[in-house]
Amino acid sequence: MNYARRCVACGSLFHPLSHVPNQRYCSAPNCQRERRRRWQRQHMRADEDYRENQHRAQASWRARHPDYWRQYRATHPAYRERNAVLQRERNARQRSLMVANMDASQIAPPLASGVYILRRMSEVRIAKMNACIVHLTVLSPPGGSPAPDCKEMM
Ligand SMILES: [Zn+2]
């Protein structure tokens, strides 16, 4: 028979079970619930500490190996090439967005005013394609001085 000890939750005396020599909570349901609650809280805190440690360790590793990515890129041409392709795609997308976002007055008109047929470049070789008839009015001549509100663009 083990000696009686005090439950750390309710403070009453109990006899620890023979197969749980370090038992600290009596077997009352409330005290067992309390034991599980404390256990979970402790583990959650341990997890947070763990994640924080991982984060710190990674940051300090990066600080100690500033050349790692440069060397990685230097020794992995496929990785470098793929990155370059992705960057070119991003740049192209950015450029076409910028053109789309300009208003017409900000693009130097290369043509004279008149009626034009407007077609999508990608559809030029398709026999039956969509075409718009548009009237373009040139507001400043090709090569001429831009409108005053275009100065920022030049
Ligand atoms: Zn208890």
Higher pLDDT, 7 or 108: 7
**15 domain residue, yes or no:** yes
Residue 44 CA to ligand 1 centre (angstroms) = 23
* pLDDT 10s digits, 83-97: 889 999 999 888 887
7 Cα: distance to centroid of ligand 1 (angstroms) = 5
Structure tokens at 41: 């809280």
Are 12 and 55 found together in one domain?
yes
Domain assignment present for residue 24? The answer is yes
For residue 133, give the amino acid letter: I
DSSP state letters, 48-76: HHHHHHHHHHHHHHHHH-TTHHHHHHHH-
Once rounded to an integer, what is the mean pLDDT over residues 13-30?
92
Q: Give Cβ neighbours of residue 4 (< 8 Å, ≥ 6 apart).
A: 13, 14, 15
For residues 92 and 125, membership in a common domain is answered with no
Q: Which domain holds residue 87?
A: 65-101
The answer on 114 and 97 residing in a single domain is: no
Please state, in angstroms and as integers, the Cα–Cα distance from residue 139 to each residue in 45, 103, 113, 132, following that order. Answer: 68, 12, 8, 21
* Pairwise CA distance, residues 97 & 5, whole Å: 75
Residue 108 has pLDDT above 60, yes or no: no
Residue 146 has which token pair? 């831009």
What size, in residues, is the chain?
154
> Can you tell me the mean pLDDT for 131-149?
67
- For ligand 1, a single-atom ion, the residues with CB < 5 A are 7, 9-10, 26, 28, 31
- In this structure, the number of other CB atoms found within 10 A of the CB of residue 124 comes to 9
- Per DSSP, helices labelled H in the chain are 29-64, 68-75, 77-101
What's residue 78's pLDDT? 86
User: CA-to-CA distance for 74 and 67, rounded, in angstroms?
Assistant: 10
The stretch 20-34 carries a mean pLDDT of 94
**Does any domain span residue 154?**
no
112/136 same-domain check: yes
Please give the distance, rounded to the nearest whole angstrom, from the Cα atom of residue 47 to the centre of ligand 1.
27
Q: Ligand 1 centre and the CA of 8: distance in Å? A: 7
Q: How far is the CA of 96 from the centre of ligand 1 (A)?
A: 71
55 and 9 co-located in one domain:
yes
* CA-based nearest residue to 10, from 39, 30, 36: 30
Structurally, how many domains does the chain consist of?
3
> What is this structure's pTM?
0.37
pLDDT at 117: 79
